[in-house]
Amino acid sequence: MNIAIVGAGGWGTALACVAASNSHRVVLWTRDATVAEEITTRRENTLYLPGISIPDRVETSVVPQTIERADVVILAVPTQYLRSVLTTYDVPLRGKLIVNAAKGIERGTHLRISQLLRAVAGTASDEYVVLSGPSHAEEVARCVPTTVVAASTSESAAEIVQRSLSTPTFRIYRSLDVVGVELGGALKNVIAIAAGIVDGLQMGDNTKAALVTRGLAEITRLGVELGANPLTFSGLSGLGDLFVTCTSRHSRNRLVGERIGRGESLDSIVASMKMVAEGIATTVSALELAGDYGVEMPIVEQVYRILFEGKDPRQAITELMTRQMKREH
């Protein structure tokens, strides 16, 4: 197949390696000519995925028109930049199977990626697949065994992605729950920031376990209210992705929280990062969505207060621990 990948960050580059290993013709599009040149000449992306040899089958391009010949287009652009990339560069998407590999909710509009693509590019639901799950790019590119889920309202579309990208070290399951898979991938980043705060404060395993468990409860409550299947959140794009993001040294969102817990300001943290931590913007969207739908999300609310109102993290934890007592379920 002809597969185009939009975005040559760590995840886009890792997926290019996966697709090339299955003998597909791959074009990796980036607006950064320096990155494209380095991959072409040195077969490495030192800025976003250092130490990984990129197969010769991966072609790079800075010209959006090269995407025209693709059968499948994988979008690996951070959620908050996707709209501007698609419109500014007039990325050709019509008539193609679109696979979204980003995890987030657009700030301001509260749109999931499937909704954003419908509004911006007219992408039909049966032409859209979301790929999500516990999958750090650094490990996928090194062929560390990884499992993810491809969700679409079209079983055949999900099967195409499953067949074309699955390898002996990258196993893909199918799902029909686009809403649940998109929300699980997006909202877990907010909880990962909270997990990082716990690490930065040097609190214990008990604290993190409680946070992850109750965080999953919040994600599930909002997801069900928005039409997701609750079982999705016990799967790869829910519990699986939440676990890895809250515990891994590769997690940018967890690292943001850890640095907050150590006393750094959000502005200084963001200024020092070369890659995007999606959970920062998603915290705003999640809290606003929870308010719109009357869903209680106390952990998300406290993360928002810490990030954007300068609340003391220890005070936030105390307030969570002393909330009104209730039954677990």
List the catalytic residues. 188
DSSP 220: H
- Determine contact, residues 280/270, Cβ cutoff 8 Å: yes
Residue 177, φ and ψ in degrees, nearest 5: -95, 80
- Strands ordered across the beta sheet of 58-61: 58-61, 25-29, 2-6, 72-75, 97-100, 128-132, 146-151, 170-175
**Number of C-alpha atoms within 13 angstroms, CB side, residue 201?**
20
Give the contacts of 253 (CB within 8 A, at least 6 positions apart). Answer: 189, 190, 192, 193, 196, 245, 277, 278, 279, 280
Query: Which of 172, 38, 104 minimizes the C-alpha distance to 8?
Result: 38
Print burial letters for 280-310: b (CB count within 10 Å at least 16), e (below 16).
bbbbbbbbebbeeeebebebbbbbbbbbeee
